[in-house]
């Protein structure tokens, strides 16, 4: 990937993560929609949303163990836990854009962002990512429950 494309991709990932975190930090809870509600099943998080013939469909969206550790601990490691609430989303998004470096990790973050404000689906996706990476805990999951 050339330098301008890499910068553009990193900015897109930061924006996607910031949108997810902004939704997560809003007050109120989202209820779990009934089956058939149109919400993608949690099992599809981390998988490409595009059809097999679409560009990028061959990228399996997944995090490495190190990326899963960074994601699960991003709130603390980014400095967001001790900063003002207005800066937290930016700090976490910027941190993840710097630490999640693999193409598959970026694809996972983008798919995660597509969950929007569905708190239950986000918690499920984070829990699964941590488990798949062999982590015994994920502080970010605990924060959202």
Share of the chain above pLDDT 90, in %: 48
pLDDT average, residue stretch 59-88: 91
Distance, first Cα to last Cα, the chain: 37
CA nearest 113: which of 103, 125, 129, 101? 125
At 46, list the tokens: 């981390």
The predicted pLDDT at position 59 comes to 58
Asked if 94 contacts 14 with a C-beta cutoff of 8 angstroms, the reply is yes
- The 8-class DSSP code of residue 109 comes to H
Check residue 54 and give left, alpha or beta (phi > 0: left; psi -120 to 50: alpha).
beta
pLDDT of 82 reads: 95
CA distance 99 to 121: 23
Residues 6+ apart with CB under 8 A from 116: 19, 20, 23
Q: What is the pLDDT of residues 44-68, one digit of tens each?
A: 454 444 433 344 444 568 899 999 9
Rounded Cα–Cα distance for residues 140 and 32 (Å): 19
Higher per-residue pLDDT: 41 or 70: 70
Lowest mean pLDDT among 11-15, 37-41, 99-103, 127-131: 37-41
Higher pLDDT, 11 or 64: 64
> Angle between the 103-113 and 119-132 helix axes, to the nearest 10 degrees?
160
């Amino acid at each position: 990937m050339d330098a301008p494309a890499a910068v553009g991709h990193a900015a897109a990932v930061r924006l996607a993560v910031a949108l997810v975190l902004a939704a997560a930090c809003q007050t109120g809870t989202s209820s779990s929609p009934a089956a058939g509600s149109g919400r993608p099943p949690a099992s599809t998080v981390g998988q490409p949303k595009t059809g097999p013939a679409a560009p990028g469909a061959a990228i399996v969206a997944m995090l490495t163990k190190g990326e899963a550790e960074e994601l699960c601990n991003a709130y603390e490691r980014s400095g967001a836990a001790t900063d003002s609430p207005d800066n937290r989303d930016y700090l976490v998004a910027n941190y993840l854009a710097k630490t999640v470096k693999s193409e598959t990790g970026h694809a996972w973050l983008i798919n995660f962002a597509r969950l929007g404000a569905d708190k239950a689906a986000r918690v499920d996706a984070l829990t699964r990512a941590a488990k798949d990476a062999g982590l015994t805990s994920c502080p970010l999951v605990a924060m959202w429950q």
